[in-house]
Structure 1
């Protein structure tokens, strides 16, 4: 068996049809996993599944709003009746730009429902079955969970919660053979970043892209595939001694910025 193989593993990836999630779905399928993509955007979900299958991989799309507990529970239960869920990747999330004064109550509710409750819903739905034979839960946090970033009040709050939920689950389920870790990316070049720049800096797209890239000490944004490679390792048997740990993938941002 090759290193970092996910052969015969069933993986659930939320938000698995765009950006980092898409890269993770494709990387997992490339390593032999049967990937179940839980995604709000049906068009993207079907596209990514088609691209995975075209390369000989195994994947299935499930239309899902992770903030809907009933929906998540039904989908996870249906997947679990077909095969044992070995891996859960909680990647689905939304962003918000604004400081405390620029964050309305509805903004807080929206961020909470997707970024915090969504992670809870998925972990809660899978944990009782995963206790039977063990497994891996990988949560997508952010550097915003551990360092101050301007105008990211609600987003930072939510990712801080993801980080501490990770530690809690890792501690509580050690004896069940369940490993729980998180990844904290810095700026990663995804379609979301391009859309954000286009919306907020019309006519200055190239200038802002360069500025955001240079804000990373390493001099560029990360690539979704680089995060996906780390996710493959952390969900593989080669990482069997790792749990309760957060992995920054940040181009030196946390330790070298300032």
Structure 2
């Protein structure tokens, strides 16, 4: 295991973070790219960044709400009406962030836009002709394909070494559904495990290129990602206690400000479980994998 670490193939994550211990002032005048900023976690995080003095360029399909937010928070915020599953739209978002930035650089990228995907499609009855119906994979497009677009663009803009003293941070929105079985939503669970896979791939590659990669994994929280009726079922019938949207924003700020955090999965949980509303999950360590890799003689 130590030999593999020494080769630099598996540098692994940083030490676990301590919730609530970060310096918000480190984010002043930083430039942020954010996807899905018109509601829920995205809007809360956008506002939290602006409160620290950061600049935020964001994209969303909700044109009227996006324009309202941008007008309210101008000149710190720029809004682009667009679709994260569109490569040209995401390219335009990153270009707009460069224009917004006081020094023409992008410091933080938060790939957040997501959906539960409506009906899963895998338990659907056959069509009238008895043939299987093609599933709607919009959930995969938004939760995984679009995240890959965002990550690709981040790596493009960060292909040159960072400026002296510059800290660059890539943060992804996964879910606790990416850490255990989610039988009701096959696509959703698959995409969130996929986002976790992106983080684990990029956390070593990114450090070699001068940026950090982490994720947040929220528990259930009442946002527009699902209907009020669905949330009522989750609360009343399943007995779930909700996490707070604001705690997701705080977790993102922590990961953005803490220049020692890399490769960590941060769970956003009910405050009954953690006073700060977020915890280091400690579920993305490498010891077990490295022991197996040594046994199997994984090549360099």
State the TM-score, normalized to the length of structure 1.
Answer: 0.83
In structure 2, the partner of 1:184 is 217
Deviation string, structure 1 residues 65-110 (Cα, Å, up to 9, x no partner): 11111221233134335521100001101113437324964422x1
Note if 1:4 corresponds to 2:24. yes
Structure with higher Rg: it is 2
In structure 2, the partner of 1:250 is 269
Note if 1:98 corresponds to 2:120. yes
In structure 2, the partner of 1:197 is 228
Q: Equivalents in 2 of 1:86, 1:164: separation in Å?
A: 22
In structure 1, the partner of 2:247 is 226
More displaced, 177-186 or 75-84? 75-84
Question: Do the aligned partners of 1:99 and 1:152 also contact (CA within 8 Å) in 2?
Answer: no
Alignment of 1:1-258 (within 5 A): 3-5=23-25, 6-53=27-74, 58-80=76-98, 83-96=104-117, 97-98=119-120, 100-102=122-124, 105-108=134-137, 110-132=138-160, 133=162, 135-193=168-226, 196-198=227-229, 208=233, 210-211=235-236, 214-215=239-240, 220-236=241-257, 239-251=258-270, 252=273
Change (3 A) 1:33 1:77: same
C-alpha RMSD of matched pairs (Å): 2.5
Unaligned runs of 5+ in 2: 1-21, 126-132, 282-300
Structure with more relative contact order (C-alpha pairs < 8 Å, separation 6 or more): 2
Question: Do the aligned partners of 2:56 and 2:97 also contact (CA within 8 Å) in 1?
Answer: no
State the TM-score, normalized to the length of structure 2.
Answer: 0.72
Question: Do the aligned partners of 1:99 and 1:150 also contact (CA within 8 Å) in 2?
Answer: no
State the SS of the aligned residue for 1:182: strand
Q: Equivalents in 2 of 1:77, 1:51: separation in Å?
A: 22
Question: Do the aligned partners of 1:197 and 1:209 also contact (CA within 8 Å) in 2?
Answer: no
Runs of 4+ off more than 6 Å: none
Unaligned runs of 5+ in 1: none
Question: Do the aligned partners of 2:29 and 2:55 also contact (CA within 8 Å) in 1?
Answer: yes
Question: Do the aligned partners of 2:32 and 2:56 also contact (CA within 8 Å) in 1?
Answer: yes
Aligned length: 236
Change (3 A) 1:78 1:35: closer
Q: Equivalents in 2 of 1:29, 1:72: separation in Å?
A: 21
Q: Equivalents in 2 of 1:170, 1:249: separation in Å?
A: 20
In structure 1, the partner of 2:296 is none
Q: Equivalents in 2 of 1:98, 1:197: separation in Å?
A: 19
Question: Do the aligned partners of 1:143 and 1:250 also contact (CA within 8 Å) in 2?
Answer: no
Q: Equivalents in 2 of 1:147, 1:22: separation in Å?
A: 27
Indicate the structure with greater helix content.
Answer: 1
Q: Equivalents in 2 of 1:74, 1:123: separation in Å?
A: 14
